[in-house]
Structure 1
């Protein structure tokens, strides 16, 4: 009986531990910044034209505390206002108006995109030209984002689109304003599509994490140069060994002396 009671107690503890683990995991997934919300859908003239999603959207002004705008943007009851967004064949604007957030008044974020045909590629590509932060009703910070691009038939995805150097600085403060340098903005697990939206789902994603990054490309070029130098050195060593072997096995050539030369030597003697 005692053995059965101990066994039941052990099983009960394991079940409780398992349930606690599941509860904590679900709570972690539901915490802000961890839950991947449905894409934000923007319509223009009655047609869906922009899809946008990020696992986390955070901004910081100077040394102030970090402001997380994820739930304000993507949760089902998000208060974000997308009025002012615009779509056409070659231009698109995603306008996210948040209103008053903590110490910031009239906060809004605007993403400006363009769609251009390139003859060399034979297709249209869309580019995220600029990201703007409007605050306190009058101030504006502008970031250049021309490294964010993809074919127009695809969506664009990147793990981080940020103004921070540790995330490759895809958002570069514009030289035309000194306000952008005071801001940090980071989109985590960023995905957007602004042209050729066919449904409420993203098209195939063009990811920013390409194999031939500048660092990898320089490494490959350096490795190729070293291999060429090594191959040339080995070739020279083999060639020198071949010459040495030829000198060792070379036979002495005998030229018979004429009778006149022999008689001349005898007379001299």
Structure 2
């Protein structure tokens, strides 16, 4: 009786894991799959973390719904969280490299499949909006009330975890596709080995944990998917049946890529301030929880005309005021970006800085300082992939008592120009990423070390002197007097 019950339990677990992966491989939204990333959550053996049903097929999980899933998982499951955060990932990575057609020996995710199969209640979210996945670290940090620890598998064995005190361990995983399609599979296989190594180390410590596997960005977009469809079989069939859908997809690609005009403020007939962002959101902390509000649709897009009254600009100062109604319970809400430019003698040129980002609501003002990190030559525009005050912050509250400490501001794919605007278009962009990355510095230091070794070797060779006497085998031996 006990053996039959164990066999039945194993079959249920196997069927559950198979259903998880079949659902992950089959739930594909052809129209918007380029804007979502998958998220997988499981717990160590014996614990249950899922008490609510996963979303229906085709549903896109937003930031608030994802926060509810995470809160439920942490309330029911272990408080030690292991987060595997990959740079890029899409559902198509599992369909191409997950052995979806029965070739499990070719799967790039054996360790991940084993972990999901051993878990009693894994959670698979095939479509999570990438802004929500970007906020996973912040949500986990708020719910666990602990700071994240960025680690690698080698140093994990030196860390001693305690089941009673929560911990957030973050492992960054790379992703890149070269000219050879197999390179992506090799990278994913390497990431799966890292996952297996980390889970083995956690198992040796005998500490229950909750594991999450997701990404910051989708690895594929609609353009690459259409190219793959054209290269593969059934090209004529897709063209014959999907002409209208192809036009709709191109229209969505056009809207997603942001070809709509930026927010433009004019002084008279001349443009003087330009602002563009792919995403804009604000959050406020109330009763220990963050309440979010997305301002993107009311600020950017075709036919959208935000209220800019209160904005000013001249040769030295510029202020862009975005006016909103009914934001997070505030009837009057303003987002103000204050900029200035002046001449710096050291660089012998003019620079502009984003001095402050202010939130005005119902007579209260929250001020973030941005002048330390957000600046560019006065003739250029400034561009950055992410400008926030909570994740790799470029905006910091003006003081410890400022109301800005209760707010979060997030710009995704941010670009702004407050001076020398010509023709209603951005000037050349000064990107926030530095020129000298850690990889470049490592290459320079290695090259310098090799040059020093080569120089020392040449110097030693030049110190060698040729003998002034040689021994002739046919003549008498050379005798060297001791007095010499």
Aligned to 1:38: 261
Distance 2:262 2:270 in 1: 15
**RMSD of aligned Cα (Å):** 3.6
For residue 29 of structure 1, report the CA deviation from its aligned partner. 4.5
Larger fraction in strand:
1
**Partner SS state of residue 281, structure 2:** strand
Correspondence 1:199 to 2:420 = no
User: Which residue in 2 is equivalent to 1:125?
Assistant: 351
The answer on whether the counterparts of 1:161 and 1:190 sit within 8 Å (CA) in structure 2 is yes
**CA deviation after TM superposition for structure 1 residue 135, in Å:** 2.9
Which of 196, 208, 229 is matched with 2:432 structurally?
208
Q: Which piece of structure 1 moves more, 71-80 or 91-100?
A: 71-80
**Greater C-alpha Rg:** 1
Q: Which residue of 2 aligns with 1:100?
A: 326
Q: Which residue does 2:199 correspond to in 1?
A: none
Matches within 5 A, 1:1-269: 14-27=239-252, 29-30=254-255, 35-45=258-268, 47-62=270-285, 63-78=289-304, 80-165=306-391, 168-213=392-437, 215-216=438-439, 218-220=441-443, 222-224=445-447, 226-227=449-450, 230-231=453-454, 234=457, 253-255=479-481
Change (3 A) 1:28 1:201: closer
Runs of 5+ consecutive residues of structure 1 not aligned to the other structure: 1-9, 258-269
Distance 1:123 1:67, change over 3 A: same
Q: Deviations over 1:133-159 (max 9, x none)?
A: 223442424233432222212222222
Distance 1:18-1:44 versus aligned 2 partners, 3 A rule: closer
| Shift in CA distance, 29/76, structure 1 to aligned 2, threshold 3 Å | closer
Structure 1, 218-227 or 138-147: larger mean CA deviation:
218-227
CA contact under 8 A between 2:358 and 2:365: conserved in structure 1?
no
* Residue pair 1:130, 1:143 contacting (<8 A) in 2 also: yes
Q: Could you tell me how far apart the structure 2 residues matched to 1:144 and 1:17 are?
A: 48
> In the aligned structure 2, how far is the partner of 1:150 from the partner of 1:207?
8
| 1:106 CA displacement | 2.0
1:95–1:111 Cα contact (<8 Å) kept = yes
Distance 1:39 1:121, change over 3 A: same
**Equivalent residues of 1:37, 1:55 under 8 A apart:** no
Deviates most, 96-105 or 216-225: 216-225
Residue 76 of structure 1 deviates from its aligned partner by: 4.6
> What's the secondary structure of 1:26's corresponding residue?
helix
Query: How far apart are residue 174 of structure 1 and its match?
Result: 2.7
Q: What is the alpha-carbon distance in structure 1 between the residues aligned to residue 481 and residue 359 of structure 2?
A: 97
Q: Give, in whole Å, the separation in 2 of the partners of 1:25 and 1:199.
A: 27
- CA drift at 1:117: 0.8
* In structure 1, C-alpha distance between the alignment counterparts of 2:253 and 2:294, rounded to whole Å: 17
Q: Cα–Cα, structure 1 residues 34 and 46, in superposed 2: closer, same or farther, change >3 Å? A: closer
Query: TM-score, normalised to structure 2's length?
Result: 0.43
Question: Matched residues in 1 for 2:427 and 2:383: separation?
Answer: 11
- Higher relative contact order, chain-length normalized (CA < 8 Å, sep 6+): 1
